[in-house]
Amino acid sequence: MLQLRRGLYILNKDDRKIEPSRLYLAEQLYQPSYVSLEYALSRYGLIPERVADVTSVSTKKTARFSNDFGTFSYQTVKPSAFRGFISGKDEAGLPYFIAEPEKAVADFIYLNLRKIAAGLVEKTLLESFRFQHLESLNKNKVTAYFGLFNNTKMREIGAVLRGMGGKL
């Protein structure tokens, strides 16, 4: 048996019939949670970097687990913002939850608000955070998901995103 975290184990590779994905394991390791932030942004092609750690959000306290499958990190969002995710199935048919693209952007920006200076929102998003393909986002979902955080700065950034013309 392999330990995934204290109190949670999985059969050794030779003894299990299916291979769980890291997306499935991320949700099983810490509940409630859904994959978001850098991992989801990379998966959706919204940032150019390949992300090795599986990043998720939860209503529980920040946590991090490392095991034979990789590193899984969890950041806290308020319960009112714990929505905007969809369910999927991995190659083995196991379920997982992942943020919609617009919610992954909102989660990431909310957890990095202190890094965004007033008047430099567009520059920070495109140059520092290296967002790309923002035009693929649904403007109505951007407005809705940024509003979930009940934060004036988030609403302002959401408005800037909506006004970025061809970039959104």
Return the pLDDT at 72: 99
Residue 168 has pLDDT above 70, yes or no: no
**Which pairs from 79-84 meet CB under 8 Å and 24+ separation?**
80/148, 80/149, 80/150, 81/106, 81/107, 81/110, 81/148, 81/149, 82/32, 82/57, 82/58, 83/148, 84/141, 84/144, 84/145, 84/148
pTM for this model (two decimals):
0.94
Per-residue pLDDT averaged across 123-130, rounded?
Answer: 93
Return the pLDDT at 119: 84
Return the pLDDT at 167: 55
Structure confidence by residue, pLDDT tens digits, 82-91: 999 999 999 9
> What are the sequence ranges of the domains in the chain?
2-9+20-167
Structure confidence by residue, pLDDT tens digits, 33-82: 999 999 999 999 999 999 999 999 999 999 999 999 999 999 999 999 99
